[in-house]
Structure 1
Amino acid sequence: VLQALGRYVAGEADLDAALALQPRSAYALQLRGEMRRKLGKHAKAIADYDAALDIAPRYVPALAGRGAALRASGRHQDAVRDYDAALILEPQNASVLAGRGAAKLELGQHQEALADFSAALEFDPHNEFANWGHKAAGARGGKAAPQT
C-alpha cells in the first residue's frame, strides 16, 4: 500500500521491521528492493534482490527488479542478463520485455530494443514505457513502424 502511495521511506522502514521478524522472506526482500530502487538506493536494492534470489532463484519480480536497478546503475549488460532469465520464466511479461528493450537501447542495440518494445506492446498495448521505448528505438535507428 505504501508503495502505491509513493511513500517509499515509510515502506522501507516497514519492510525492515518485517524482515527483522522473517529475514528469509523473498517477497519482503523483493519489496524492500523496489522501495530502495525507487529511492535511488540502487546498490542496496541490488543487495535485496540478490538475497531474494538466493532464497527463490526463479522469482521473476526479483529478477526484473534487479534488472531495473542494474539498468539504473548503468550496468546495462548485467540488466539484460537478468531480464533474459526472467523472460525464460515468463516470456510474455510486457514489463520485463520493455525493461530489456531499455537496456538494449542504452547498449546501442536499437533493432533488438525495438523488437523488445514491439513484443511488449503486443502483450500490453497500453504499456506507456514500452510505447515510449518503441518511439525512442525507432528514432535511434531501429526503424519503428508507426503504432496505431
Structure 2
Amino acid sequence: MLHLTMQQAALAFLVLITPICAWVVYTDLKYMKIRNKAVYALLAVFAVAGPFLLPLDVYAWRWLNALAIFALGYILNQIAHFGAGDAKFAAAAAPYFATGSDHILLTVMLLTAFLLAAFTAHRIARAIPALRALAPDWVSWTRKDFPMGLALVGTLWAYLLIIALAN
C-alpha cells in the first residue's frame, strides 16, 4: 500500500474527481439534474482509489460519512424539498471529507460561502441577456429553484484543494 500524506491523498482525489465535478456542474445548470451515473462515478473513485490513498482504518470509517449524509439528505428531501440528486451527490461526496472538528468547521464554512456565492452568481448571470444567450437551453435560467450542484461541487473541490495545499 502507498503511504501518502493527507495532502497527497487530497491532491490525488482532486485530480480524479475533477472531470466528474465538471460534469455535475454542467448537467445541473443545463438540466437541473445530477445524474445517478455521476453519483456512482464519484463513489467509485473513492471505493477504488481510497484504499490506496488513505490508511485502511480511515478509509473504512469515512464510509460512515456517506451513510450519515445520505440519511440527512433523505430527510431534507422529504421535508424541505431538497433535491434528490443533490442529496445523493452530497452523500457520495461525504467520504472525501475528514471528520475532525477543524474539518467539519471548514466544510460548513465552505458550504455556506459556496451557497451564497453560487446562488448570487447564478441569479446575476441569468439576469444578463448576453450570458443567457450563450446557453439559451439551460433549464436553470427559468426555474425558481437553484442548481445546488454548483455549491456542492464547489465545496468538495475547494475542501480537497485546501487540504492538498495545507502545510
TM-score, normalization by structure 2: 0.26
